Chains A and B, each alone.
Chain A
Amino acid sequence: DAGVIQSPRHEVTEMGQEVTLRCKPISGHNSLFWYRQTMMRGLELLIYFNNNVPIDDSGMPEDRFSAKMPNASFSTLKIQPSEPRDSAVYFCASSIFGQGGEQYFGPGTRLTVT
């Protein structure tokens, strides 16, 4: 199994541009999570989906952030317009709902907004 796949691994963009981060969860997993890691706040949960349905998006910082999961094997996190304070590492994780809470993380996307 390839694990959780995220792309791109690194993204550098200018303020105001649209950024789209992509995630492919582990096959068979029905929960998907988006996190942001910063020095100050550690791992923040942005949004999570169960069976492709958004369950809790209270962690999404602003309307500039949006996430979709059109099917069980793909999710996107979009930032439009991007700002320098969005610079962070964004992780996607997947799990099997109700089975121990263990989540499998992707390698992350390091986003730099200049």
Chain B
Amino acid sequence: DQQVKQNSPSLSVQEGRISILNCDYTNSMFDYFLWYKKYPAEGPTFLISISSIKDKNEDGRFTVFLNKSAKHLSLHIVPSQPGDSAVYFCAAGQDNNDMRFGAGTRLTVKP
């Protein structure tokens, strides 16, 4: 039972353009959401988070948007850089502890 879904297994964008990665969740009790980035042969690393009291959080080139009514969040990367090429995991949970992850989206940024 996938409580967190990333329906796009892959995404390819041109360097300098915007990358938009999407994530949907089913559990309305989830109140904390994170994005992780994973390079090959490494563990995922934390990228950015948002709590349910906000609808936007920005950190440099990365912005996460949360639409609670739609149970949807997205990660925007602008401008995209070749070093952003990685697998991005969306995670959601309750009480800041037990997080559930999506299947991941592989982003490729072409020079």
Query: Which residues of A are at the interface with B, using a C-beta cutoff of 8 A?
Result: 4, 31, 35, 40-45, 48, 50, 55-56, 91, 93, 95, 97-108
If A91-B43, A106-B43, A107-B42 touch, whether A101 touches B89 (CB-CB below 8 Å) is no
Whether A43 and B41, one on each chain, are in contact in the complex, defined by CB atoms closer than 8 angstroms, is no
Query: Which residues of B are at the interface with A, using a C-beta cutoff of 8 A?
Result: 2, 6, 32, 34, 36, 41-46, 49, 89, 91, 93, 95-104
Residue picked from A56, A101, A102, most chain B C-beta under 10 Å: A101
Whether A43 and B101, one on each chain, are in contact in the complex, defined by CB atoms closer than 8 angstroms, is yes
Apart from A101-B99, A104-B46, A105-B45, 17 more pairs, CB < 8 Å: A35-B101, A41-B2, A42-B101, A43-B44, A43-B89, A43-B101, A45-B98, A45-B99, A50-B97, A55-B98, A101-B32, A101-B34, A101-B49, A102-B34, A107-B42, A107-B43, A108-B43
Which of A42, A101, A103 sits near B103, CB closer than 8 Å? A42
When C-beta atoms are compared, the residue in chain A nearest to B31 turns out to be: A101
Residue picked from B32, B89, B96, B104, most chain A C-beta under 10 Å: B96
Which of B96, B101, B104 sits near A100, CB closer than 8 Å? B96
If A91-B43, A93-B43, A107-B43 touch, whether A99 touches B96 (CB-CB below 8 Å) is yes
Residues of A within 8 A of B46 (CB): 102-104
Which of A4, A56, A102, A106 sits near B98, CB closer than 8 Å? A56
Whether A105 and B44, one on each chain, are in contact in the complex, defined by CB atoms closer than 8 angstroms, is yes
When C-beta atoms are compared, the residue in chain A nearest to B6 turns out to be: A42
Residues of B within 8 A of A102 (CB): 34, 46, 49
Residue picked from B46, B95, B97, B102, most chain A C-beta under 10 Å: B97
CA distance A47 to B14 in the complex (A): 39
Residues of A within 8 A of B44 (CB): 43, 91, 105
Q: Please provide the 10 A-B residue pairs with the shortest distance between their CB atoms, ordered closest to farther.
A: A42-B103, A105-B43, A43-B101, A101-B96, A102-B46, A101-B32, A105-B44, A42-B104, A107-B43, A106-B43
